[in-house]
Amino acid sequence: MPNPSEVKQKNKSNRLKYIMEFISEKLFLICALISVLSLFLIIGFVFFKGSNPFIADGYSFIDFIFGSDWIPSEDKYGIFPMIVASIYATIGALVIGVPIGLLTAIFLSEIAPKPIAKIISPAVQLLAGIPSVLYGVFGLAIIVPFLQNNLGLVKGQSLIAVILVLAIMMLPTIVTVAETAIRAVPKTYREGSLALGASPIGTIFKVVVPAAKSGIMAAIVLGLGRAIGETMAVILVAGNSLIIPTSITDSVRPLTTNIALEMGYAYGTHQEMLFATGIVLFSFILILNFVLAKISSKGGK
Amino acid sequence: MLKLRKWKSILLLMSLTLILTACNGGEEDEGQASSGNGSTISISGSTSVGPLAEKLAAKYMESANVNIEINQIGSSAGITNAINGVSDIGMSSRSLESGEEEEVSPTIIAFDGIVVVTHANNKVKDLTMDEVKKIFTGEITNWKEVGGKDMEIVVVSREDGSGSRDAFQEIVDYSSGELVRNSIIASGNGNIKTTVATNEHAIGFISFEYIDETISTVHINGVEPTAKNVIEGKYPLSRPFLFVHKDLSEESQAFIDFILSEAGQEIAAEAGAIPITEE
Amino acid sequence: MRKFKDNLLLGLLWFGAFLTVAILLIIVGYIFYKGIGLINLEFIFGDYSPVGGGGIWPMIITTIYTIVISLVIATPIGILAAVYLQEYAKQGRLVRMIRFATESLTGIPSIIYGLFGAVFFVTTLAMGMSIISASLTLTIIVLPVIIRTTEEALKTVPASYREGSLALGSTKLQTLYKVILPSAMPGILSGIILSMGRIIGESAAIFLTAGTVAAMPEGIFSSARTLTVHSYLVTQESGDIELAAAIGIVLIVMILALNFAATFISKKLNKADY
């Protein structure tokens, strides 16, 4: 039988514990909400600036989206060529970057002998840290002249150059995150599949990879984010021409490039229209995230 | 348990860093407050004017007891900063718009020439103003039409709103809407130079300061692009470099006086800009 | 047939990995080849000179400032946010909203962060073009990266750890500090490394918030130029690929050093864990 004072002591320390639990949970919640707050601030700010020309100055939003002339000094703001360029560049980079990235991630986590994986994994992480500007420098110094000389183009700055640079740039992000996800698949999955007579390769593609699906999707989203977010490297290799691309050898101007290229010099309506370009880019990304979220939740079932 | 200790030490380290940086920040704040009395001049704006301003500031700071901060963020941003008071002086390579003229006043610190450039191997060394216009508006699309090899012309221009582009278009006399659509748009003088230097098809325009042996310069109407020809009024492609400002502090005024002095203008000439001549 | 398919897939895996490694080697090799000629002590520790031929020491210091300040702010917030999402939150509308917010933040192009920072921190909060404005902007940029990777790392902690700890009478908080976070540590560290990469690599956002003053910063309220912004300006304005590559070498060496440090720490922690 414990004496009463001891019980009291215990209750007190228990209460303290509960208070601590309560406070820490709220603290964690606040931290989690900071990202929501930042997002609202950014959205609010960008939308406020970007919607002004359409609300206050009577510009047509339809003309803005579907217009093919972007001549700020003549008061013409149409971003259709840039929307097309952004979509092409993103799809192209995905088509090249995702398969290579995933194959590398699977290789590193499942196939590679340990010593090899131990060298390559950190090396790939290093690739993620290389500043985008250097990819641009590399693209301008190597990829652009290569395309120019070997494909017989009059200019190497082109959609294909953008796609290559973006694909290279999203690789490390995809590899690193996907590798973590695949490594996290419990050993029992593999053992079970192998015990049932599946081949090691079959196990990887039919059991391990599907089990890591949500992580792999995260990898792709993060990789896409990096590719879409990069601007400086693209400026150097895109050519930034204001035409709707009809082939991968045309020079193009994606949405991000348009903002970065002209922001320094823009003022008034021109500047607000660049914010409006930001809104379009932003919606583009939200839709993308939404679609990918849908895919991964369906895959989960 | 050992584990937890490690964790704690990491947290400790981080908070220490935070405190240190915070302290450091505080000190510096004081430092800035005292220098706010006038010993710091903040300048921001055009990337064309920037390199020249940096050289002038470096020379000036050797003798005068001031600190000059120069931010190269583009003409419009610089003018906006001068209007808002974020910077003491804004640098611009374009003339002021009507809304801006009422807010700040410009001082011409030097002139700059714009030169039409091509790849080093290009044999076309002379173009008329009309040919330049036709090339940039897409009427002439092959080098053989102006006496060169039979190959396509790739036009390289600055972005819409760039001070250099505004000046170039105004003098050559075509509008942004007329610029050939598939022209490459480069975001700086250096970018144009690299693009042109690596592409035999290319033609572009850059500031005099950036001329070197990697590119070939083109004479306009038979006149060589030199500072002398600009001063004598023979070479047409030139524009002023501006410092824009509200009421100047003593220190800023002294810096501008230095730039406009003989010594300052000499530095400008060395940097490749064109000194102001008394006329 | 099945054997053939297996071999084909295996071949593809080798090919994919080979390609990735080859690209890394080519890019790093090219940068070293182009820039190594400029690297010497004078270049790294020398003061910047606008006339040319100067060093990059002020840019190195500025870069270190931005990394330290933004990580000191973003790391605790990011980790705690991830802990909330993974360990505390009931999967409801609030969590969905937070997740959506973090994911969306990831996708925002850095130039938009730059615009936001330039008006919010620089003008509205009157911090001016400064290292602190840039660091706060960078904090928002790396926050989702840290949250995301920490969440993934927390997911890899087996449920049995939590159950075991709770069954022994630990509170949730004790379980968190003593069991979950330590075992998720390597994953969290890799997130922090990714963030450092992002901070070092950022140019557009810093360009608009820290400015481009090429001088030794007097403190976190001065305007300054990071290494990456410097290499950007060098490429843009003077087209000097060799100088840009030399700065690239310094950046890569910095990242390499960070990676080694992080791996070392995570190994130490792991050893302590078992």
Asked whether residue A29 is domain-assigned, the answer is yes
B71 interface with C at CB cutoff 8 Å: yes
Closest residue on chain B to A260 (Cα):
B187
> What's the rounded mean pLDDT across residues C165-193?
81
pLDDT band at C116 (very low <50, low <70, confident <90, very high): confident
Q: Is the pLDDT of residue C233 over 60?
A: yes
Any A CB within 8 A of B95 CB: no
Residue C18 predicted with pLDDT over 80: yes
Residue where the block lists tokens 């131990």 = A118
Residues A156 and A219 in one domain: yes
How confident is the model at residue B2, as a pLDDT?
A: 44
Same domain, A20 and A132: no
Residues A8 and A134 in one domain: no
The confidence band for C263, taking pLDDT boundaries of 50, 70 and 90, is confident
Fold of C41-273: MetI-like fold (1.10.3720)
- pLDDT value at A86 more than 80: yes
On whether any CB of chain C is under 8 Å from the CB of B212, the answer is no
With CB atoms and an 8 Å threshold, state whether B191 touches C68.
no
Residues A211 and A102 both lie in one domain: yes
3-state secondary structure chain A: CCCHHHHHHHHHHHHHHHHHHHHHHHHHHHHHHHHHHHHHHHHHHHHHHHHHHHHCCCCCHHHHHHCCCEEHHHCEECCHHHHHHHHHHHHHHHHHHHHHHHHHHHHHHHHCCHHHHHHHHHHHHHHHHCCHHHHHHHHHHHHHHHHHHHCCCCCCCCHHHHHHHHHHHHHHHHHHHHHHHHHCCCHHHHHHHHHCCCCHHHHHHHHHHHHCHHHHHHHHHHHHHHHHHCCHHHHHHHECCCCCCCCCCCCECCHHHHHHHHHCCCCHHHHHHHHHHHHHHHHHHHHHHHHHHHHHHHHHC
Q: Using CB atoms, which chains have 3+ pairs under 8 A with A? A: B, C
Structural domain including A22 reads 1-34
- Residue A265 to residue B75, Cβ atoms within 8 A: yes
pLDDT tens track for A225-275: 778 777 878 888 888 888 888 888 888 999 888 887 777 667 778 888 888
- Answer yes or no: do A154 and B154 touch at CB < 8 A: yes
Task: Tell me, yes or no, whether A117 lies in a domain.
Answer: yes
Domain boundaries, chain C: 2-38, 41-273
State which residue of chain B sits closest to C51, comparing Cα positions: B55
Same domain, A17 and A142: no
Q: Are residues A279 and A194 in the same domain?
A: yes
C29-38 mean pLDDT: 89
A136 and A209 within one domain: yes
Read off the pLDDT band of B117 (50, 70, 90): very high
Confidence of residue C137 (pLDDT cuts 50, 70, 90): very high
From B197, which residue of chain C is nearest by alpha-carbon distance?
A: C239
Q: Do A42 and C244 touch (CB under 8 A)?
A: no
User: How close C85 comes to chain A (CA, Å)?
Assistant: 7
Residues A157 and A22 occupy one common structural domain: no
Kindly state whether B176 is in contact with chain A, defined as any CB-CB distance less than 8 angstroms: yes
**Mean residue pLDDT across chain C:** 82
Answer yes or no: is pLDDT of B235 > 80. Answer: yes
Test A240 with B160 for CB contact under 8 angstroms. no
The overall pTM is greater than 0.80: no
Chain A residues 251-280 within an 8 A CB cutoff of chain B: 251, 253, 260-268, 270-271
Task: Give the least confident one: A239-243, B188-192, B245-249.
Answer: B188-192
Our CA-based measurement puts residue C233 at a distance from the nearest CA of chain A, in whole angstroms, of 10
Give me the residue from A144, A154, A242 closest to B152, CB to CB. Answer: A154
From B191, which residue of chain C is nearest by alpha-carbon distance? C236
Average pLDDT, chain B: 81
Looking at chain B, which residue has its C-alpha nearest residue A239?
B184
Tokens 């209750």 locate to A11
* pLDDT tens-place string over residues A125-182: 777 777 888 888 888 888 888 888 888 788 888 899 999 999 998 888 899 889 988 9
Residue B206 or B47, more confident: B206
Shortest Cα–Cα distance, A206 to chain B (Å): 38
pLDDT band at B31 (very low <50, low <70, confident <90, very high): very low
Residue of A nearest to C156 (CA): A184
- Out of C21, C84, C196, closest to residue A28 by CB: C84
Q: Name chain A contacts of B136, Cβ cutoff 8 Å.
A: none
State whether A27 and A118 are in the same domain: no
Question: Greater confidence, B91 or C221?
Answer: B91
User: What is the total count of domains within chain A?
Assistant: 2
Domain-located, residue A44: no
What is the tens place of the pLDDT at every residue in A103-139?
999 999 888 888 888 888 878 877 777 788 888 888 8
Residues A89 and A206 in one domain: yes
Residues A164, A240 share a domain: yes
**pLDDT on residue A117:** 86
- Domain identity same for A30 and A94: no
